[in-house]
Amino acid sequence: MSFQNTLQYAQELDQADTLKDFRNLFHIPVHEGKQQIYMCGNSLGLQPKSVRQCLDNELDKWQNLGVEGWFEGEDNWIGYLKHLKKPLAKIVGAKPSEVSVMNNLTVNLHLMMVSFYQPTETRFKILCEGGAFPSDQYALETHLEFRGINPEEAIIEIFPREGELTLRTEDILQKIEENKDSLALVMMGGINYYSGQVFDMKLITEKAQEMGAKVGFDLAHCVGNILLQLHDWNVDFAVWCSYKYLNSGMGGVSGIFVHENHHQSNLQRLAGWWGYEEKTRFKMEKGFVPMNGADGWQLSTPTILAMACHRAALEITEKAGIENLREKSIKLTGFLRFILEEFNQKNEQILNIITPTNPDESGCQLSILVEKNGKELFDKLIKKGIIGDWREPNVIRLSPVPLYNSFEDVFRVGEALD
């Protein structure tokens, strides 16, 4: 698609945008009397206006019903999860039985590793991308130490080739092949948080499972951003947060995917009473009997208020349609890349976009490497009401989100840079 760097052109794209009215469903932060150009959905999505009503609904039940809110009416708390499973399953390309909502991301990663990381004397290594998000690094390190395994020996990190900033798929597959006899688990981010690179999860899963390893993904930067087909890709498990592109609030409740291949297996797990078979849960009997599917990995009583925020946000994404959002995202991010490249032509390549150009290898986020005075540039953009985020040592991340960002927003970024 060919673009033009004019306000009129950007406004014409907005007029033709079939999703343009979804912006009105969100609160856009205001800076000096004007709406901000908010491109930080990769860190925290904006608040849906419907969240307040969803929260009030549950607060009213608590106020008027007390504990009976768990059981009273069709919209009771006991069955609250049913409102979330169907839209979430569609977003991640799964069956409803394969997804559940609980805890926070890193908690869920530890829980999944209890089940899917089963080291032996010879097969105990974990492959991950070099420079993975710190929370994942800490989870892997401490989980291994808890099991008495030296992380220095067990964790295999794969980095880009010298002089390159992103990973080649063939190098990931080759590294799996090289460690086929010792590899127990491939655990990667679906998108690298720093570069914005989308990994080929289908090919990675096929190769790792062919070599006898299990495969899991941290989808924090993927869910609600790119098209996923977790069931068809045969991924063993996945975890994600809901506060980025799913717009479910600060530290919002997390989700898990467990492929149906494992629902009837005898995988080890850490159990809690909310994962117990629902029909007999309140008998309070000894001996854990899990619910069928991913719900059997639940531990504790659900956080209804957090799930209410999640429900409001999921309803918006479901109405927009993840396929439609992805189609707009490709155009919106493509326009931002065009604007930044035009700026570079006039300013001798000040900005180095390290996110891959191929839409199959990128989502909403563009990571911009600024070799000189990057933090100063970032701070100036903030003062102009353009909200991205900064990642040390020298990267600005901008993420035009199709639910609430416009093509005019993108044009204004270029205008501010000039």
CA atoms of 146 and 144, how far apart (whole Å) = 5
The angle at the Cα of 367, spanning 363 to 372, to the nearest 5 degrees, equals 170
d(CA 257, CA 89): 9
Omega before residue 400 within 30° of 0, cis: no
Residue 50 lies in a domain: no
Distance of alpha carbon 61 from alpha carbon 307, whole angstroms: 15
pLDDT, tens digit (0-9, with 9 covering 90-100), for 237-265:
999 999 999 999 999 999 999 999 999 88
- Please name the residues in contact with 279: beta carbons below 8 A apart, sequence gap of 6 or more: none
Would you state the pLDDT for residue 29? 97
Domain assignment present for residue 2? The answer is no
Q: Say yes or no to pLDDT of 372 above 90.
A: no
Mean pLDDT of 222-245: 98
* 362, 333 contact by CB (below 8 A): yes
Q: What is the DSSP letter of 23?
A: G
Asked if residues 139 and 113 have their Cβ atoms less than 8 Å apart, the reply is yes
Query: Does the pLDDT at position 348 exceed 80?
Result: no
DSSP state of 322: H
Kindly indicate the confidence band of residue 1, based on its pLDDT and cuts at 50, 70 and 90: confident
Q: Which of 47, 43, 10 is nearest to 26 (CA)?
A: 47
343 and 235 in a common domain: no
- Percentage of the chain beyond pLDDT 70 is 100
Note whether 254 and 387 are same-domain residues. no
Q: Kindly state whether residue 161 falls inside one of the protein's structural domains.
A: yes
Q: Which residues contact 64 (CB under 8 A, 6 or more apart)?
A: none
Give the CATH number of the domain where residue 192 resides.
3.40.640.10
What CATH number should be reported for the domain holding residue 410?
3.90.1150.10
Given 319, 348, 370, the domain boundary residue is 319
- Do 103 and 180 sit in the same domain of this protein? yes
User: Domain for residue 49, yes or no?
Assistant: no
- Residues 60 and 123 reside in one and the same domain: yes
pLDDT (0 to 100) of residue 173: 98
Confidence at residue 404, expressed as pLDDT on a 0 to 100 scale:
98
Higher pLDDT, 59 or 266: 59
Six-digit token string for 80: 């609250």
Q: Is the pLDDT of residue 106 over 90?
A: yes
Mean pLDDT of 96-104: 98
For residue 368, pLDDT beyond 90: yes
Q: Are residues 315 and 326 in the same domain?
A: no
pLDDT at 31 over 90: no
Domain-located, residue 280: yes
Residues in the chain: 418
Q: Domain for residue 88, yes or no? A: yes
Same domain? 285 vs 351: no
Q: What is the mean pLDDT of the chain?
A: 96
**Amino acid letter, 274:** W
Together in a domain, 268 and 332: no
Please name the residue ranges forming H helices in 93-131: 105-116
Q: Which pLDDT score is estimated for 386?
A: 96
All residues at 6 or more sequence positions from 324 whose CB lies less than 8 Å from its CB, including other chains: 18, 19
Question: Which amino acid does the sequence have at 177?
Answer: E
Taking residue 62's Cβ as centre, other Cβ atoms within 10 Å add up to 13
Same structural domain, 278 and 205: yes
Phi then psi dihedrals of residue 306, to 5 deg: -65, -40
Question: Does 371 score more than 90 pLDDT?
Answer: no
Torsion over CA of 78, 83, 86 and 88, rounded to 10 degrees? Answer: -100
Residues 88 and 162 in one domain: yes
Q: For residue 371, what are the domain limits?
A: 7-35+321-417
Q: What mean pLDDT do residues 228-238 have?
A: 98
301 in the same domain as 221: yes
> What does the pLDDT read at residue 378?
94
Question: Are the C-beta atoms of 58 and 304 separated by less than 8 Å?
Answer: yes
- Say yes or no: 21 and 121 in one domain: no
What distance in Å separates the CA atoms of residue 45 and residue 363, rounded to the nearest whole number? 15
**In a 3-state reduction of DSSP, which class is residue 260?**
helix
Q: What is the mean pLDDT of residues 119-147?
A: 96
Give me 45's structure tokens. Answer: 């999505």
What is the mean predicted confidence (pLDDT) over 165-182? 97
Residue 123 lies in a domain: yes
Q: Is 295 helix (H, G, I), strand (E, B) or coil?
A: helix
d(CA 399, CA 227): 16
Residues 176, 232: one domain? yes
- Rounded Cα distance between 18 and 231, Å, is 29
Domain count, the chain: 2
**Does the structure show a pLDDT above 80 at 338?**
yes
Within a domain: residue 164? Answer: yes
pLDDT of residue 59: 98
Contact 307, 102 (CB under 8 A): no
Tell me the pLDDT tens digit for each residue of 290-330. Answer: 999 999 999 999 999 999 999 999 999 999 999 999 999 99
